[in-house]
Amino acid sequence: MKRRYFLAMAGASLLYPFRGILENTYRSLGLSNDQSSSKKYILINVIEAPARWMFDTILKPTNAHGFVQGKLIPTHFKKTGSAPFDFEYDYGFHEVNGYQFPYMWQFDIPTADGKTTPLSNLAENMFIVRGCDMVLDGHEINNRRLEAPSIGSHSISGLHDANTSPLFGCLSLEGAREAGTAAQAYSSPSTNRTIIKDSTENYIEYLLRPFIERASVNSTIVDKAISEALTSNKDSHIGKKLNSNEQSKKRAANIINQHHQVITREYNDNVKKYQDLINRSIQRTNILGLTDKRVPGLKFPLELKKKFHQSGKAFEKVDYLGAYKEIDYLVLADDVRTMFDTAEIKGLAKQMALAEVSLKYDLTSSININVDCLRNMKTKTTKLEHISMTHEGDVVHFKLKSSDVVENLGLRHNADSHKCGSLTSLLCDTLFWRAMASCTYELTRSLKVASTELWNNSLIHLTTEFEREPGDIDKGSHHGFTGHTSTFLSGAVKKTEVIGNIYTLSHDPTDVSPGCGTWGKAADVKSLGNRKMVYGNISSSISNFLGCETPLPHEKKVFKLKNGKITSLIEAPENKEFMEKNLKTEKAV
């Protein structure tokens, strides 16, 4: 190495110590976003990825966009008859603020005042990002990536908490899933999440009780000594965390001691409020084209015409009867709608109630909610294995193997509907999303009423691991991990917007059912360099809104916050034709 070159490198490396000065200058010039202290992030994570094509996966943004209706991608019944299998599906649209939203958006949802409101009101502050390719298959890995997109690094909420020093670290409302979800992926350089288990009777009491008990003991001199000891260690990595906790603890104690009665009362009222919204959204609904008419369940003995797969193979029992499947059970109700009279979404009311008070009283900066599926749908049912199938010419006969195989059970709708038929999924998923819409609408309304600033600084992220890809035969759907949708609600969203590109029709041989219709598979985005959007693009955008570091700094944002408004950074949404790409290394023929 030449001496001159060596000296130049050594001299230039002397710049390194000055990076601290540059950092402070960067901050003082306002280039770092110090507004982050007031930002709130709420991840509402519907685990196990139910279908969203009837709710917020916008398959055809406008009438100018291509759309191919898949036979197993319905939004409602075109007709329902009086016998099993006497129904026909349709996929309908309803215009909402210039976009073609799915069919259900033309109807009302229950509100907290006992009345209803058009579902389309929810879309006023809605920003939908569709067509995101999660690249990897799997519930656990993708659910965890919703919170921690860079595996092994700190998570979005964790980085946000590090920026904001909240009273309580991210409230992890785990629900029934205590492992393998976004909630457990939380990681922060400065604090820990606050885990609230599903088995906890009263969420707010769990949070506040330790502080109320603590308040009864006054030990100023002891607290002072502990603070002094922790401060002496404040520059170490551990010391920083402990000091941060100590500060949060003191602030929490002050707020809780002053307001715990009001907070507790409000939480208890909220639980009843949200439970009422959920019940009214699911039970005894009368939705045109869905639940306004009797929907007959299976009835035996049953005769159907013989069918064959495209390969020539004869249909199996599950292929014939699959539309009425809920995992291993067949729905035999005289009217399938009665299943929903007892249906519930466990824990959701408590979760939303806590989210509302936590945001209003500034108890936290981030919340992770794991939402459970529909449960306890009481119906007459039997297992597929209890049905016999015999052939007679072109006719297939189905019978119950014995009279005592019919049971009345409370079924659970598996959101991961590999083994749930199109009919049960259409009803279950639509009513489920209706309940989610109603609860989310109430949360947004409450935030708006509490404070415009709070609403403008809050980002509600309603999402799942990925969309679903319908099967070619009606016995269940599959992981559509190449198509993910994230829906955002915030006061910073000033008008309804949809971004992201999908394929009108994909013949990708790696799809489970190529050519099954438009379902939301990600297509290339020109603004991202003609490649598919990945979750890192979404997480960078979220981090930008929150004003915190992004876990994936090399991934471009697809939207950003500018002058208090969320704006798209990519082109308007397109529905593209699938073109199989050749590898660059392939020789031209």
Partner 1 sequence: MTYAILLFFSITDFSMGKSLFKSSTRTADKFYVYRTLEKVFGESNKSILVKNILNSPELFGGGCLPYNVSMKSEKFDLSDENFEDRCFNNITEIGSPAFVEMSVIRQVKTENTCNEILKDTKNIRHALALVSLSESSPIDLKSVKRTTNLFFYKKKQRETYSKIIVNNQIKTWRDVLLVLCKSPEWQIL
Q: Using CB under 8 A, list all residues that contact partner 1.
A: 8-9, 12-13, 15-16, 18-19, 22-23, 26, 150, 152-154, 159, 162, 167-169, 178-179, 187, 189, 191-195, 197, 199, 207, 210-211, 213-214, 217, 219, 221-222, 224-226, 228-230, 232-233, 237-238, 241-242, 245-246, 248-249, 252-253, 549-551, 553
Query: In the complex with partner 1, which residue's Cβ is closer, 189 or 410?
Result: 189
Asked if 59 and 53 count as a contact pair (C-beta separation under 8 A), the reply is: yes
Sequence-distant (6+) residues with CB within 8 A of 516 are: 70, 71, 72, 73, 469, 470, 471, 472
Kindly report the number of other CB atoms within 10 A of residue 140's CB atom: 15
**Which among 374, 295, 370 has a CA at the least distance from the CA of 342?**
374
Sequence-distant (6+) residues with CB within 8 A of 213 are: none
Nearest approach, Cβ of 175 to partner 1 (angstroms)?
12
Sequence-distant (6+) residues with CB within 8 A of 274 are: 348, 349, 352, 353, 439, 442
Nearest approach, Cβ of 443 to partner 1 (angstroms)?
24
- 298, with CB counted inside 10 A (0-12, 13-18, 19+), is buried
Q: Is the dihedral of CA 21, 26, 28, 33 positive or negative?
A: negative
Nearest approach, Cβ of 533 to partner 1 (angstroms)?
21
Site of tokens 């029992």:
317
Query: In the complex with partner 1, which residue's Cβ is closer, 255 or 318?
Result: 255
Nearest approach, Cβ of 251 to partner 1 (angstroms)?
9
Q: How far apart are CA 132 and CA 145, in angstroms?
A: 13
Nearest approach, Cβ of 382 to partner 1 (angstroms)?
30
Query: In the complex with partner 1, which residue's Cβ is closer, 59 or 230?
Result: 230
Hey, what are 336's tokens?
Answer: 């399938």
Kindly report the number of other CB atoms within 10 A of residue 540's CB atom: 23
Nearest approach, Cβ of 534 to partner 1 (angstroms)?
18
Query: In the complex with partner 1, which residue's Cβ is closer, 249 or 293?
Result: 249
Query: In the complex with partner 1, which residue's Cβ is closer, 155 or 279?
Result: 155
Please give the distance of CA 454 from its chain centroid, rounded to a whole number: 22
Query: In the complex with partner 1, which residue's Cβ is closer, 11 or 529?
Result: 11
Query: In the complex with partner 1, which residue's Cβ is closer, 136 or 225?
Result: 225
Q: Bridge partners of 180?
A: none
Query: In the complex with partner 1, which residue's Cβ is closer, 363 or 428?
Result: 363
Query: In the complex with partner 1, which residue's Cβ is closer, 162 or 436?
Result: 162
Q: How far apart are CA 157 and CA 169, in angstroms?
A: 9
Asked if 365 and 39 count as a contact pair (C-beta separation under 8 A), the reply is: yes
Quote the strand ranges of 260-356, DSSP E.
302-305, 325-326, 329-331, 344-345
